[in-house]
Amino acid sequence: MPVFDFSGASASKAEAKCTYTTFQSNNTTPSADQPIMVLDNKERHWKHHSCGVFTNPVNRTAFEFKEEDGTFTADVLKIDSRFTSLLKWLGDSRINVRLSGANTEDGYAVYRIRETAFGGGTKLSAEDGFLQFMIERLLESNAPAEAEEDETQEETGDEMKLTSLQSITDFMTCAGKTLPDNIRLWTRRNLAVARSSEVSQEERHHAQRALSIMLNIQWKNNYFEAIDPVEARRILDEELYGMERVKQRIIETIIQINRTHTLPAYGLLLIGPAGTGKSQIAYAVARILKLPWTTLDMSSINDSKQLTGSPRIYANAKPGIIMDAFSMAGASNLVFIINELDKANSGHGNGNPADVLLTLLDNLGFTDNYMECMIPTGGVYPIATANDRDQISAPLMSRFAVIDIPDYTAEEKKVIFSRFSLPKVLKRMHMEEGECIITDDALDAIVARYSNTTGIRDLEQAAEHIAANALYQIEVNHVDKVEYTREMVEELLK
């Protein structure tokens, strides 16, 4: 019977060596002055672009440089606290990477990490790969309050998008701390369902689909940077003529955001005749806030399930339109434009669509039946448009700051046509302003023709018609310009 002598065995395993300290940063564009990490360069200065792998952090936190004259190791001295989990994953997985950095007094300052194939060649997926997806997400996140590592997984991944369970698992390992607490918990639960052999294939499919949708959205915090009121006013003046009351209300909103760094408790409800520029106001606000925007047309909603999604018990289940809006925007902070809010009470299917909007507008979170998770809405700024105030329920009305948009006067329409509508059309057709001239009498005739219609859409169509006619005469009749009189526009637009 063999006898084993353990007297020569070491009393304990060698402890892992952590060589780095962490620092907190919210920088989104790393550089040599604000790097992701710093490596030791006392023994050797490293090239601007260097290939290699991170060592397994169970042994030591270092990087193995694969140089022409051999392999050399340098300890990690400092690292952005947002990237500690990513460093561990790269080391565990032995992912070949290329570092871009500069030698400084403090060490080799790394400001870019790219994935490479074996031998130093760039991978086909590197330009838009999974590693870059995680790095970009980490750079957009805020520095964690404490540099603690989250629960980790041992699996590795190399997917370009968060669609496979492998890439979702790796994302949670490296960048799970960028998610809100409830979504991080929801993700772990759905990962368990997606991997389980005790549920049906359909359930696993729905869980994986929901995970892919949820994690491809960038869940940002509700902190908003200050906005320049002067620049905001310039954008409003560029996009809108007149409407001083509306512009004042928007500037007040900007000032409020600058003081509180959060969105106002109430969105905007713009009520006025068709064609008065209500949607244009919403787009201008999104541009000022520098947020993506998405639209919801309430006239096409006849069932509340279109907004809330269908439960996963159905084979053809899918998320609702509101969740799709987050997915299309790719971020949780967005301007949500609700067109024709006065049509929200006219649903003829199951449930009242207006009731669904109440939960969204309360800013306490929204639950989609397919996702089965509370979606944070603190970064959503709703802007609704409507034509008829009387068709909007009191509960809906109370959740907005209401602004009445009056129709334009005849004089305002003249200014809009001559300063905005016609120049915009001429620019689009690559025409000079001197090629299409409208006399004062012709301008009066154009406005008088559409005096019984609201808004300026008819004026814009008239500008399109006149400019096209001028272009035709210039190209076919070889004239230098066309000057329109009252008689000419009345004949052309009749």
Residue 167 has pLDDT above 90, yes or no: no
- The whole-angstrom separation of Cα 450 and Cα 461 is 11
State whether 357 and 284 are in the same domain: yes
- Same domain, yes or no: 425 and 391: no
pLDDT at residue 395, as a whole number: 87
pLDDT for res 392: 87
- CB-hemisphere CA count at 13 Å for 83? 32
Which of 357, 373, 404 corresponds to the end of one domain?
A: 404
Comparing CA positions, the residue from 83, 9, 94 lying closest to residue 59 is: 94
Cα–Cα distance, 396 to 390 (Å, whole number): 12
Residue 281 maps to a domain:
yes
How do beta strands 21-23 and 62-67 pair? unpaired
**CATH number for the domain harbouring residue 438:** 1.10.8.60
Is the same domain home to 386 and 418? no
Cα–Cα distance, 284 to 297 (Å, whole number)? 18
Regarding predicted confidence, which is higher, 260 or 3? Answer: 260
> Is 193 inside any structural domain?
no
As to burial, measured by CB atoms within 10 angstroms (0-12 exposed, 13-18 middle, 19+ buried), residue 265 is: exposed
Residue 8 lies in a domain: no
Residue 242 burial (CB count, 10 A): 15
Q: Contact, 258 vs 227, CB < 8 A?
A: yes
5 located within any domain: no
Using the 3D structure, point to which of 404, 428, 445 is the last residue of a domain: 404
11 assigned to some structural domain: no
Rg (CA), the chain: 30
Reported confidence tier of residue 161, pLDDT bands at 50, 70, 90: low
394 and 446 within one domain: no
Q: Identify whether residues 148 and 94 lie together within a single domain.
A: yes
Residues 183-207 have a mean pLDDT of 92
What does the block give as tokens for 440?
């004062």
pLDDT digits (tens, 9 = 90+) for 277-318: 888 888 899 899 988 888 888 888 877 888 889 999 888 899
Kindly state the helix (H) or strand (E) to which residue 287 belongs, with its residue range: helix 278-289
CB 46 within 8 A of CB 74: yes
CA-CA distance, 132 to 36, in Å (whole number)? 13
What is this structure's pTM?
0.69
**The predicted structure's pLDDT at residue 9:** 42
Read off the pLDDT of residues 197-251 as tens digits, 9 standing for 90 and up. Answer: 898 999 999 999 999 999 988 888 888 889 999 999 999 888 888 788 888 988 9
Q: Can you read off the two tokens belonging to residue 175?
A: 């960048």
> Looking at the structure, do residues 302 and 242 belong to the same domain, yes or no?
yes
Per the structure, the complete domain to which residue 457 belongs is given by 410-493
129 part of a folded domain: yes
Residue 117: predicted pLDDT:
67
| Closest of 97, 89, 84, 19 to residue 56, by C-alpha | 89
Band of pLDDT at residue 348, cut at 50, 70 and 90: low
Domain co-membership, 427 together with 398: no
Asked if the structure places residue 38 within a domain, the reply is: yes
The reply to whether 168 and 258 lie within a common domain is no
In this structure, are 246 and 162 located in the same domain? no
| 480 found inside a domain | yes
- For residue 430, what pLDDT is reported? 92
Q: Which residues pair with 116 in a beta bridge?
A: 122
CATH number reported for the structural domain that contains residue 284 in this entry: 3.40.50.300
Tokens for 260?
Answer: 């509180």
Task: For the chain, give percent helix, strand, coil, nearest 5.
Answer: 40, 20, 40
Same domain, 394 and 423: no
**Boundary (domain end) residue, out of 404, 433, 457:** 404
C-alpha to C-alpha distance for 446 and 462, rounded to whole angstroms: 8
Is the per-residue pLDDT at 335 higher than 70? yes
Whether 381 shows a pLDDT value over 60: the answer reads: yes
Nearest in space to 289 (alpha carbons), one of 245, 236, 341: 236
Query: What are the DSSP calls for 21-86, one per residue?
Result: EEE----SS--SSS-SEEE--SS-PPPSEEEEEEPPTTTB-EEEEEETTEEEEEEEEEEEGGGHHH
CA of residue 329 relative to chain centroid, distance: 5
> Is 70 exceeded by the pLDDT of residue 350?
no
Complete DSSP assignment for 441-489: HHHHHHHHHTTTS-SSHHHHHHHHHHHHHHHHHHHHS--S-EEE-HHHH
Q: Kindly state the tokens that stand for 165.
A: 């369970």
Same domain, 398 and 441: no
What is each CA distance from 245 to 231, 265, 340, 404, 406, in whole angstroms? Answer: 18, 20, 21, 9, 11
How many domains does the chain contain in total?
3
pLDDT of residue 118: 55
Same domain, 398 and 416: no
SS (H, E, C) 377-396: CCCEEEEEEECCHHHCCHHH
Place of tokens 């871009």: 100
Give the SS3 label for residue 263.
coil
pLDDT of residue 142: 81
Tell me what the pLDDT averaged over the chain comes to: 84
Query: Could you identify the residue written with the tokens 């967005």?
Result: 334
